[in-house]
Each structure stands twice: as structure tokens, then as C-alpha cells.
Amino acid sequence: MTVNETLATYSNYLVYGAMAAYTVAMIAFAVSFASMRGRDLVPASSAPAATDAEAGSVAVATKVATMVGGPDDGSLPPGRRAGNIGMSTTWLGTLLLGAAVLLRGLSVERAPWGNMCEFSMTSAFAIALTFCVMSLKRDLRWLGVFVVTPVLLILGAAMTFLYTEAAQLVPALKSYWLVIHVSAAMICGAAFCIGATVTLLFLVADASERRHAAGRPHRLDWLARRLPESARLDAMAYRIHAFMFPLWTFAIVAGAIWAENAWGRYWGWDPKETWAFITWVAYAAYLHARATVGWKGRKAAAIALVAFGCFVFNYVGVNILITGLHSYAGV
């Protein structure tokens, strides 16, 4: 076995190690989520105004609950402890997966995203790393199970039906624009995935709050009670999409420049190019609707989910189902 083959083998071992860590994290996050104390589902706007003394008491109680996750009795409740385990094992899995991506690149002496297997591995790493970085500034244990589960599914797909042995690139991909264009697209994909997850959770929280404001229960109350208020989720989803949209624009422009270097034209309406543009239009419509029409809530969420659906089809469907100049799935 050559040195490159050995590195590729160790890369696979690290991916499996990362999957084991993410499995523990998924279970821990699920336990933590199930153990969270439920909140009142009546939106703050429809609740009676609190006095200054009541507001102060609520603020202190909220601060204590946020800091220690429960009564100040000197011990961590099971939910908080499970959440800490979930975050720790998520960091461990992300470090292992990052090392796996690095070894995969070293084994082929190039950027490790020349086929769908490598792209999926690196995309899963980008999603996990984005979540870990976001968790440094705020408590996102409630989101953990909804992020780690897709990461596990993507890695499972990469190591099964998308798996491809480490090999050299086709001539069209041998360019420094591979690093610039694809890395930007993967970062955007990671953020769009988390943004879509938050958007779906917003729809659950919003539906439950609306039903409770009307005096009727909702079948997903058990989930909504453990989520932040719908307004917070809506604002969080908007910030994620607004922050990433310029980078997605750059990724498309970088791809056009790369296409000119590789094929002698900036744009040829190849299926990949077409769906990248459709995705851009959908996310632009989402941001435009919020900025000018004033759409918030469910209408904007619907556009965001359509845009993410376009992104997923561009990522999976175009590579596997449609033949074009960007058909580098390797499967």
C-alpha cells in the first residue's frame, strides 16, 4: 500500500470515528431537548403587560435558567448535562471530520472536493463547524439535534452510495478556482442548511403560538414548547440568509470566471449554472420580500424553503440525475 493509499484509508477511519461521535452527540442532544422545561406558547404580544417588579423577577429567573439550566442547587439537571455532552462530542466529531478531510486532500495532493463523496464529506464538516462556531456566542443546545442529524445523514450517504476512491481530478477541475469557488459554495450550503432548519422550527413555533392565542392546542406543542419564541427564530433565519447571500453571489461569479478559464465562456446555461442562478433568484426574492414588501413570518419562510429546495436539487439532483459539464458525481 502506497503512502497516498494509507492516508486515504486513515481518512475513512476518521470519518467513521466522526460518525460515532456525532451519533453520541445526536442522542445527547435528543435527551437534552426532551428534558427542557416547556415555555408558554402564548406570544408575548398577546399576553398581559407585566409590572416592573414582575419583569425584573422574570429577567432574573431567565438569566439563572440560561446560566445553569435549572434551579440553583449546585448541580446540573440531566438536560443541561446531556446538552454539554452533546456539544463536547459535536466538537470532537468536527475535529475528527476536519482531520479526515485534510488526509483525503493529502492523499490525492489536491483540494478534497473533486467528486460528490468528497464534497459531501466537506459539506458535512462545514455544517458542523458553522454550528460549533455559532454556539460560541449563544446557547444553541436546543438546535443541536436538528443539525447533527443531517450531518450524520450526509456522512452516511458519502460513505455508502456516493463513496468514490481517492483519485486525481479531471482536467477541467485542475485550477485554483476550484478552491475559491467550491469552498465558497460549501460555506453557503452549510449556512443555508442551518437557516432552513431554523425556518422549519419557526413554522412549528409560529403555528403553535397562533393556535394557543386562539385557545386551541396544536399537535406539535411538545416540540414548540422547547423552542425559542417564533419571532426570535424568524429573526435568526433572516440574519443567516442575509449574511450568506453576498457570499453565494460571489460563488456564482467565481464559477463564471472559472468556466471562462476552463471552457472559454463565462456562462453557457449548463444545468449546474442554471440551477445555481435559480437558487440565487429564490434567495434574492426572499430578501427582497422582507426588505421592501415587509413580508415576515410564514410567507417569507415559504420562499426561504423553496430557495433551499433549489439549492439541494442543484447539489444532488443536477450532479446525479442530469448530464452536463458539471457532472462530477463520481458515482
Residue 171: band (very low, low, confident or very high) from pLDDT cuts 50, 70, 90: low
Q: What confidence tens digit (pLDDT) does each residue in 54-80 have?
A: 334 334 334 333 433 333 334 556 578
Q: What confidence tens digit (pLDDT) does each residue in 22-57 have?
A: 999 999 999 999 887 767 676 544 444 444 443 343
Closest CA to 142 of 30, 247, 251, 297: 30
DSSP state of 325: T
Q: Where are the alpha helices (DSSP H) in 214-297?
A: 221-224, 230-263, 271-288
109 burial via Cβ count (<10 Å: 0-12, 13-18, 19+): exposed
Instruction: Return d(Cα 168, Cα 166) in angstroms, integer.
Output: 7
Q: What angle do CA 106, 109, 112 make, to 5 degrees?
A: 70
Dihedral of CA 67/70/71/77: which sign? negative
Among the residue ranges 51-55, 97-101, 200-204, the one predicted with the least confidence is 51-55
Cβ atoms of 217 and 211 closer than 8 Å:
yes
Considering the entire predicted model, what is its pTM?
0.82
